[in-house]
């Protein structure tokens, strides 16, 4: 019926994860870094769903649900931290935020 | 190439291109909006994999929640007119080394492992029933813990983002 095998999905997930890593390592805006973390979480979810579908076992989708929950919590707390930082330092550039460095 | 393949490649293309725009765009607003297309593309691939519940949850949580939150973050922390974004030229070489290592490791693992696959193609069934059953039986404790995590995180987020003046007003006035 179809030529899409499991490794197509895995390759897509790997590429998406790598794009996320590039963003986290090279971008200097905290919000962009945040978006790239979301990209990486999405790629992991994608491979979990792919494994779950090809195994015929829905447990992987339960894991995806928990990852989404934690991602939502992380987004809320992280953005609150970014907004608090911006209020104090007037920047979200992570090169200039070094108050915890000594 | 049949219809299913075409749809897969279409969604994969949308996802990857918009993910690349998220990472490489100079304008943070463009990044935020192309993240929308990434999430939609991933949701489409979930549908292809017969994960109907997860696809809807992806749309609700990521597009409806996280993306709106990110856009609020962008609006609150950027003067939209003066978009200044530098891309850390110093870290380019170590970053590319780490990225190459990550990509190599991932591809190596994915292609060299002999995955135990039961089905050659995903079966056309709905998963919402079995997921709900598992959440209420086997995974009941993690499910409850997740709800507590969400509650604590949201209260904490509201606390952190609050202004100091407002916190002082909270003190009991006796």
How large is the average pLDDT for residues A3-18? 85
Query: What percent of chain B clears pLDDT 70, i.e. is strictly above it?
Result: 82
Q: Are A65 and B57 in contact (CB under 8 A)?
A: yes
Candidate from A11-25, B52-66, B112-126 with smallest mean pLDDT: B112-126
Question: Is any Cβ of chain B less than 8 angstroms from the Cβ of A89?
Answer: no
pLDDT for B86 beyond 60: no
Partnered with residue A93 across adjacent β-strands are: A29
Tokens standing for A66? Answer: 């928990």
Report the complex ipTM: 0.89
In chain A, where are the structural domains located? Answer: 6-89
B-contacting residues in A 13-72 (Cβ below 8 Å): 14-23, 25-29, 31-32, 34-36, 38-39, 42, 45-46, 49-59, 61-62, 64-66, 68-72
Domains of chain B: 3-80+124-169 (1.20.120.1200)
How high is the pLDDT of residue B166? 54
How high is the pLDDT of residue A1? 42
Give chain B's mean pLDDT: 83
A56–B118 C-beta distance less than 8 A: yes
Q: Are B48 and B42 in contact (CB under 8 A)?
A: no
Q: Who contacts A44 (Cβ-Cβ below 8 Å, separation ≥6)?
A: A13, A17, A67
Burial class (CB in 10 A: 0-12, 13-18, 19+), B79: exposed
Q: Quickly state the pLDDT bin for A29 (edges 50, 70, 90).
A: confident
Cα B43 to chain centroid distance, Å, stands at 10
Q: Quickly state the pLDDT bin for B163 (edges 50, 70, 90).
A: confident
Tens of pLDDT, residue by residue over A50-64, are 988 888 888 889 999
* CATH of region A6-89: 1.10.287.3510
């Amino acid at each position: 019926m179809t030529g899409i095998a499991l490794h197509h999905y895995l390759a897509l997930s790997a590429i998406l994860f790598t794009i996320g890593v590039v963003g986290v390592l090279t971008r200097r805006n905290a919000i962009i870094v945040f978006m790239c973390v979301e990209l990486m979480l999405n790629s992991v979810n994608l491979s979990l769903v792919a494994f779950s579908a090809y195994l015929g076992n829905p447990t992987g989708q339960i894991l995806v649900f928990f990852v989404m929950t934690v991602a939502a919590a992380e987004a809320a707390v992280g953005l609150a931290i970014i907004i608090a930082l911006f209020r104090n330092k007037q920047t979200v550039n992570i090169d200039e935020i070094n108050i915890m460095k000594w | 190439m049949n219809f299913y393949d075409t749809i897969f490649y279409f969604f994969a293309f949308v996802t990857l291109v918009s993910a690349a725009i998220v990472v490489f765009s100079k304008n943070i607003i463009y990044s935020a909006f192309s993240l929308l297309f990434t999430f939609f593309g991933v949701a489409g691939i979930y549908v292809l994999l017969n994960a109907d519940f997860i696809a809807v949850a992806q749309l609700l949580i990521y597009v409806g929640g996280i993306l709106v939150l990110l856009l609020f973050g962008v609006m609150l922390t950027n003067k939209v007119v003066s978009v200044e974004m530098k891309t850390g030229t110093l870290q380019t070489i170590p970053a590319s080394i780490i990225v190459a290592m990550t990509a190599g490791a991932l591809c190596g693992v994915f292609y060299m492992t002999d995955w135990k696959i039961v089905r050659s193609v995903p079966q056309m069934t709905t998963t919402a029933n079995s997921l709900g059953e598992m959440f209420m039986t086997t995974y009941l404790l993690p499910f409850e813990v997740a709800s507590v995590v969400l509650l604590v995180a949201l209260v904490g987020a509201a606390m952190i983002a609050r202004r100091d003046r407002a916190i002082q007003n909270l003190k009991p006035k006796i």
